[in-house]
Structure 1
Amino acid sequence: MSEQVQPTRRRPVVGIVPTGTVQSPRQTHPPVAAWESRYRRGVILGDVLATILVVASFGGLMAARHSAFVPMSILTLEVLTVAVVLGSLYLSRVWNANVLGQGAEEFRRLGRGLFASVVALGFGALAVDIPGARLWVFVVGPAIALVVFPLRYLLRRPLHRARSEGRCLLPVLAAGNVATVGDLISRTRKATHLGWRVDAICTLDGRAALGIDLEGVPVVGRFRDLAEQVRRGGYRIVAVTPDAYWTPRRLQQLAWDLEGTGTEMVVAPALMDFAGPRLHVTGVLGMPLLRVSEPAFTGFRWAIKACVDRIGAIALILAFTPLLLLVSAAVMIDSRGPVFYRQRRVGKDGAEFTIVKFRTMVTNADALRTKLASVNEGSGVLFKMRKDPRVTKVGRLLRRYSVDELPQLLNVLSGTMSLVGPRPPLPEESAKYAPEVRRRLLVKPGLTGLWQVSGRSDLSWEESVRLDLRYVEDWSLALDALILWKTFRAVFGGQGAY
């Protein structure tokens, strides 16, 4: 990822195709950059090698420890397992270039593919009488997932680093009104890891094409010239943002015009701000409809989340027991007072509960807060100070790496909190919530969340609310897994923690 490799594009040509001009049936495909091919090959090779390595390792281990396995049966299981897993991943389109390196969809497809392979192997074990096959299926499947998921994330790191430096980006042609296109440009520049770079804009009348730009991006033509600009400019993505011009008939015609160009057409919904598993595209009487399902906070997926919370809390408590004992001793030595700090917080459906943390402040910290109200650096209803005089020396270190929050694993174990969710607010904070902000309370608060991996205390109140509401609206198991993985990086970096 260290080299600058971008798709070669000719400079967009501003103008209108004269009436009556017969366009060539030959379509110009935007060239695929070398980094794209290398990255996709690397992902496929990583999945294949990880699958073979795990299968071979467990095959040898189980053959040595279980007499039920014979060399021929183990070899058969190994070959079948590799074939079924890789075939399932292929059918689940986990190597589709459109999802590689961005968002939770890549991990969602990977999870579906691996789960489908376990189901297929399970049915095969029932049908074929191979000694030890059932045990094999339920051991090897999860083991492959434990290797493949972290490997995918590690492959993303150099790609995202390159994109933050302005490399490995896909050229985008945006078409919409000034406000919505400006918002798109702003978002793509903030979220460089998504790999979009808006290089040109088309507007309704194209009058800004005469040397005028938007956010530094030139306007190259009118909406009706869009398909021609794509052929000339070699853009990889056409992003259509809301504008009164875009009727269903015109969008359909644009999709037809882009066929064969190799350019992906992306349409931003104008009436909603939902994403994830709640959106379903259906066809009724030939009319495409975007169906938005009601957010569900019960059912099978939430039962899995509850199980993961309990099991994860127990595992983390056992793993961190030496650290917990060491921190307890440090807190007692550093300042007088109890080791733990207990505070009332608001949880699911507005129910209050007591949160448990390591004490990081002096014992009369709550009484001192009113005296510090005039120097509050927090936004909205939050109280935050970068150099809070109430924080002890040990407390400052604990806060930097979020170690003070580890006792909240007891709250997760008791069921009042989850491993992932919105930030648990204070009662006086939730009392000031607007009706839409109270939607944060539809789910259990979390030990970590989107706010934790997106800046923590550096976030504005509005941004913190937006992230929490996005989690409530778009929750999925894949999103939880991604947040947990990113939490380790955010915690060890100490960014936004004070």
Structure 2
Amino acid sequence: MVGLPIIALWIVSLLASGAYERHIFGAGSAEYGNVLRASTYAAGLVGIACFLGRYELSRGFFFFLFLIGIPLLLLGRFAGRKLLQRLHRSGRLQHTVLIVGGPRQVDEITGVLHREKWLGMRVIGALLPGPNLPEQTPRGLEVLGSSARTVDLVQEHEVDIVLFAGGAVGSARELRRAAWDLEETDVQMLIAPNLTDVAWDRIRPRPAAGLPLLEFEGPRSHDVAHGFKRLFDFVFGALLVVLLSPVMFAIAIAITASDGGPALFRQRRVGRYGEHFDLLKFRSMVVGADELIDDVREHSKHDEDHILFKSESDPRVTSVGRFLRRFSLDELPQLFNVVMGDMSLVGPRPPLQSEVDQYHPDVHRRLKVRPGMTGLWQVSGRADLSWEDSVRLDLYYVDNWSITQDIVILARTVTAVVTSRGAY
């Protein structure tokens, strides 16, 4: 009988922590944080209540309930999130979005929402300020009218979300009036600040005399070099080397047996602070592949201004190498780079010196941290990403690093490897 009150208390704690708030479902780590925090509070309250009430609750039951229940609850949330995101990607359970703002800001946000279909936001058009409106934004999004007619157009197009971007209003007074106009409609109002590519935990609200100030924590690129991340890399890297050594031994034999060439391939890459190191990989191409690169460059799937060279049908790749690349097994020797300190488990892609020579000054910021075996670029599509998106994701990681984010990226890497998206 004691189980029902504990579960009821647990649910109340989840409600109080905001674990059932609509806005946290489907994206971000706040959902998992709220569930974990509420579950910890519930366990603490149960322990205190039993101690003060002198109730002899079975220790085995208590630990079983929470040590098993919390991971199961988090796993259930994860499964529910994946199901919701899959429905969004298939075009179901979509929220219609109307973006209000300047043409450039509207296009920037539209590009993100179109790319990240799992968010479930379908942009139907834009509202721009001022008279003499164009029919479309520079990137082709239909302009439905003026921002002065926001309420009318929201009702006309049955919009679920109105998203105010930069340039939408000229003052806080105008934004407040827009909120007043929309309060009678059943529409969600979102505001996209100019603080793009900034993690939510680096921003803290600090209201002052009615001003909605935001305290902005500086970039965390310096923190990435701290000892805790290095300790994390060394311990888990060494553990993975031990666990995967039979697999790596079998791969080495298969490569050597296929054409008699060496199993490992070494390539000079640029690491943290521009220092060079020898990146280790299982050889997936024919011997002397570097000398044939000019002959296959025309097969590259990217535009000429794309710094990275990748060919989806590269004839230099061996049959064994194609299998290794499909599941990223060719990258396993980089675990030794991680253990030696040249690389990290998670970080920006390790570039070639020829690529670094073409970097825009801003892109050199990628070199402030150790390159990684995996990263945001990999779990977001790898070679299917444009150069601009790859840079944006790497710079986001450098500025917003956290150990929690590293763990999430490592977990998402498993999915990316299994699906082989962008791997060739």
The TM-score bracket by the shorter chain reads 0.7 to 0.9
Provide the residue aligned with 2:373 in structure 1: 447
Alignment of 1:27-46 (within 5 A): none
Question: In structure 1, the residue corresponding to 2:250 is in which secondary structure?
Answer: helix
Aligned pair in 2 of structure 1 residues 260, 244: CA closer, same or farther (>3 Å)? closer
Aligned pair in 2 of structure 1 residues 377, 165: CA closer, same or farther (>3 Å)? closer
Tell me how far apart the structure 1 counterparts of residues 341 and 8 of structure 2 sit (CA, whole Å). Answer: 41
Rg larger in structure? 1
Provide the residue aligned with 1:172 in structure 2: 97
Q: CA deviation at 1:331?
A: 1.3
Provide the residue aligned with 1:295 in structure 2: 219
Question: How many residues in Structure 1 have an aligned counterpart in Structure 2?
Answer: 419
Provide the residue aligned with 1:95 in structure 2: 20
Asked if structure 2 preserves the Cα contact closer than 8 Å seen for 1:242 and 1:269, the reply is yes
Provide the residue aligned with 1:147 in structure 2: 72
Question: In structure 2, the residue corresponding to 1:156 is in which secondary structure?
Answer: helix
Provide the residue aligned with 1:163 in structure 2: 88
Q: Which amino acid aligns with 1:250?
A: E
Alignment of 1:125-136 (within 5 A): none
Provide the residue aligned with 2:309 in structure 1: 383
- Select 1:225's aligned residue among 149, 156, 166: 149
Question: In structure 1, the residue corresponding to 2:260 is in which secondary structure?
Answer: coil
TM-score normalised over the length of structure 2: 0.82
- Select 1:265's aligned residue among 185, 189, 201: 189
Tell me how far apart the structure 2 counterparts of residues 135 and 460 of structure 1 sit (CA, whole Å). Answer: 52
Aligned pair in 2 of structure 1 residues 80, 251: CA closer, same or farther (>3 Å)? same
Tell me how far apart the structure 2 counterparts of residues 299 and 134 of structure 1 sit (CA, whole Å). Answer: 40
Q: CA deviation at 1:394?
A: 0.9
Provide the residue aligned with 1:184 in structure 2: 109
In structure 2, stretches of 5+ residues that fail to align are none
Residue 423 (1) aligns with residue 352 (2)? no
Ranked by relative contact order (alpha carbons within 8 Å, sequence separation 6 or more), the top structure is 1
Provide the residue aligned with 1:240 in structure 2: 164
Aligned pair in 2 of structure 1 residues 202, 308: CA closer, same or farther (>3 Å)? same
Tell me how far apart the structure 1 counterparts of residues 157 and 288 of structure 2 sit (CA, whole Å). Answer: 65
In structure 1, stretches of 5+ residues that fail to align are 1-74
Tell me how far apart the structure 2 counterparts of residues 476 and 85 of structure 1 sit (CA, whole Å). Answer: 29
- Select 1:493's aligned residue among 415, 419, 424: 419
> Any idea what the Cα deviations from partners look like across 1:402-444, whole Å, max 9, x if unmatched?
0111222233333432222211112332243222111112222
Tell me how far apart the structure 1 counterparts of residues 52 and 216 of structure 2 sit (CA, whole Å). Answer: 40
Q: CA deviation at 1:357?
A: 1.8
Provide the residue aligned with 1:337 in structure 2: 261
Taking only aligned residues, the RMSD between alpha carbons, in angstroms, comes to 3.7
Asked if structure 2 preserves the Cα contact closer than 8 Å seen for 1:277 and 1:476, the reply is no
Aligned pair in 2 of structure 1 residues 244, 238: CA closer, same or farther (>3 Å)? closer
- Select 1:324's aligned residue among 248, 252, 256: 248
| Identity level (%) | 35
Residue 313 (1) aligns with residue 237 (2)? yes
Asked if structure 2 preserves the Cα contact closer than 8 Å seen for 1:176 and 1:203, the reply is yes
- Select 1:437's aligned residue among 331, 349, 363: 363
Question: In structure 1, the residue corresponding to 2:376 is in which secondary structure?
Answer: coil
Asked if structure 2 preserves the Cα contact closer than 8 Å seen for 1:125 and 1:134, the reply is no
Q: CA deviation at 1:206?
A: 6.6
Q: CA deviation at 1:181?
A: 2.6
- Report which stretch shifted further, 282-291 or 127-136: 127-136
> Any idea what the Cα deviations from partners look like across 1:114-139, whole Å, max 9, x if unmatched?
566677778889989979969976x8
TM-score normalised over the length of structure 1: 0.71
Residue 278 (1) aligns with residue 202 (2)? yes
Tell me how far apart the structure 1 counterparts of residues 44 and 270 of structure 2 sit (CA, whole Å). Answer: 40
Residue 476 (1) aligns with residue 375 (2)? no
Residue 401 (1) aligns with residue 401 (2)? no
